Chain A
């Protein structure tokens, strides 16, 4: 044996570099293209360099009605996030106890991950059509449709976010030391107090993770929305429509702006975490010492 790296290192490094290129290359290309000059188009080469398309974006007269779609997607994402967190945490707690039919229920809940998204979406649309027909025939003769953002659209998104939320909760409670709950009980905590003051604060970072994950899944969901969303569009649907009709780089400016906002939010979160850690470290540590 000699010092130095084996040949496999360079092969793997090359592979990794290719991976990173494919992962971030497209995003980087869009960043660059969003700074096209006023005469620039949707593709390279760059035709000058300007903030023209950002200005156009803020002027609000470039792209059709991105604002309304943005607000719709935001509202839907937030509702999906709330429901996903609430149901996943409750279900995660429930599944810690053994109950009859728990494995069947679990498989039923995650089976929707295997079904192609577009099929799920079509199925939901068909289901709503049947319901609409029944309503029209038996209840209100002037019934239009039950399909909409917060009915069929919400349902379609939840078929996607809930199984993920549940799986994450399983992973969390796998590592959770249930003696902490026993200790709480020993110290007189009611089941609710034990959840509120012990379980929830400990799993909170992961629960926030589920929330963000649920929001993200909903935010960029396309296939499941496509058939089940009803008469209005979410942002991804709107953008997909635009890619076929718009010929200006203001769509890239929009992409750069939203990504930038995401990075700022992530950066702020990291700063807060670092700050809290530093504050706690001030009190010193004897961890691992024999005292």
Chain B
């Protein structure tokens, strides 16, 4: 397998008429890393992926793959391969012919491309299904075939467009682990578009959070979670409360907040509020607090902590946190 290549986007822009889908983004993705483009729908993440793949022409800017500028190359000569949302397997071809398709287009003879396709199908545990049609496969099996089909061209970069969205929750977690394993074993660069922050956190070496055609923040999952760049990032990645202190906004992780009924000592920050909702989530209680000054907070309280201070809807409590744990937002 080919080793991965680094990717660099330089002021990459996509305009549809007057609307700006992707607004001059700059991004460097390290070779052999797992990168997740994350964001709400319409943020430009899929357009960015499609421009890297070559299925969408860039309005401006450049795409560099390794040492070469691939902006004007057709998809197949870029060294990228794409796995489409809901896989786009050819319904009239068997699993074997689907996987061998790219080689057939290059004029490789049947024996050779079948052997290569079987090898790739072995890699994704689908060697026993060569004669089936895509309609005879489950969602997870289809995804494995789509992976094999994309990998047969030995790409340096694999582009995945919402690869897990068609699967049920249980299977999604299993296939997620498998994607990660495959990326580790092949050592090539994966760029994975998703709108699920849990998926991105679980998989990515680098999360690129996009909003309105711009990159809000790029960094490791821990950086993005612990040091969100702005209010949008903090809200999208979840698990944070936004608090206002002296006109400045701070993000505080909701699992690092605590609740108490007595007035707190001066050194901790606090917000007085009324409990409006208590949800039991198994590992923790999620308690919604309607703050007296208008803000809504969610506090995650471990079960044992919850038991020491019995709380009810309507109780007035203080949400408290260590000031050092508050992260200033840009």
Chain A interface residues (CB < 8 Å from chain B)? 177, 179-180, 182-190, 193, 197-198, 201-202, 280, 283-291
* B138 contacts A289, C-beta separation under 8 Å: yes
Q: Is B34 positioned at the interface, with any CB of A under 8 Å from its CB? A: no
* B136 contacts A285, C-beta separation under 8 Å: yes
* A187 contacts B88, C-beta separation under 8 Å: no
Q: Which of A198, A202, A287 contacts B137 (CB 8 A)?
A: A287
Q: Is B292 positioned at the interface, with any CB of A under 8 Å from its CB? A: no
Residue of B nearest to A201 (CB): B92
Q: Is B329 positioned at the interface, with any CB of A under 8 Å from its CB? A: no
Q: Is B312 positioned at the interface, with any CB of A under 8 Å from its CB? A: no
Scan residues 125-161 of chain B and give those whose CB is less than 8 A from a CB of chain A.
Answer: 129, 131-133, 135-141, 149-150, 153
Q: Given the interface contacts A198-B90, A202-B92, does A286 sit within 8 Å of B101 by beta carbon?
A: no
Q: Given the interface contacts A185-B76, A188-B76, A189-B105, does A177 sit within 8 Å of B137 by beta carbon?
A: no
Q: Given the interface contacts A187-B102, A188-B105, A202-B91, does A182 sit within 8 Å of B171 by beta carbon?
A: no
B300 to chain A, nearest CB (A): 30
Enumerate chain A residues within 8 angstroms of B140, measured Cβ to Cβ.
Answer: 290-291
**A290→B140 CA distance, assembly (Å):** 7
Q: Is B237 positioned at the interface, with any CB of A under 8 Å from its CB? A: no
**A287→B135 CA distance, assembly (Å):** 6
- Sample 28 A-B pairs with CB under 8 A, ordered by A number: A179-B86, A182-B55, A182-B84, A183-B82, A185-B55, A185-B75, A185-B76, A186-B82, A186-B150, A187-B153, A189-B76, A189-B101, A189-B105, A190-B105, A193-B105, A197-B101, A197-B105, A201-B92, A202-B91, A202-B92, A280-B133, A280-B136, A283-B131, A283-B136, A284-B136, A285-B136, A285-B137, A286-B137
Enumerate chain A residues within 8 angstroms of B92, measured Cβ to Cβ.
Answer: 201-202
Scan residues 47-65 of chain B and give those whose CB is less than 8 A from a CB of chain A.
Answer: 53-55
* B88 contacts A180, C-beta separation under 8 Å: yes
New A-B pairs, 17, CB < 8 Å, besides A180-B88, A286-B138, A287-B136: A179-B86, A180-B90, A182-B55, A184-B90, A184-B101, A186-B53, A186-B76, A188-B76, A188-B106, A189-B76, A190-B105, A198-B90, A280-B133, A283-B131, A284-B136, A285-B132, A291-B140
A233 to chain B, nearest CB (A): 43
The number of chain B residues with a CB under 8 A from chain A is 38
* B75 contacts A186, C-beta separation under 8 Å: yes
Q: Is B104 positioned at the interface, with any CB of A under 8 Å from its CB? A: yes
Residue of A nearest to B76 (CB): A188
* B136 contacts A182, C-beta separation under 8 Å: no
Enumerate chain A residues within 8 angstroms of B137, measured Cβ to Cβ.
Answer: 285-287
A275 to chain B, nearest CB (A): 16
Q: Is B185 positioned at the interface, with any CB of A under 8 Å from its CB? A: no
Enumerate chain B residues within 8 angstroms of A193, measured Cβ to Cβ.
Answer: 105
Residue of B nearest to A177 (CB): B88
**A287→B145 CA distance, assembly (Å):** 14
Q: Which of A182, A186, A286, A290 contacts B81 (CB 8 A)?
A: A186
**A108→B257 CA distance, assembly (Å):** 70
Residue of B nearest to A178 (CB): B88
**A180→B84 CA distance, assembly (Å):** 9
Which 8 residue pairs spanning A and B have beta carbons closest together? A188-B76, A187-B102, A285-B136, A183-B88, A286-B138, A179-B88, A289-B138, A188-B105
Scan residues 67-108 of chain B and give those whose CB is less than 8 A from a CB of chain A.
Answer: 74-76, 81-82, 84-86, 88-92, 101-102, 104-106
A91 to chain B, nearest CB (A): 23
B270 to chain A, nearest CB (A): 47
Q: Is B170 positioned at the interface, with any CB of A under 8 Å from its CB? A: yes
**A187→B102 CA distance, assembly (Å):** 5
**A183→B86 CA distance, assembly (Å):** 12
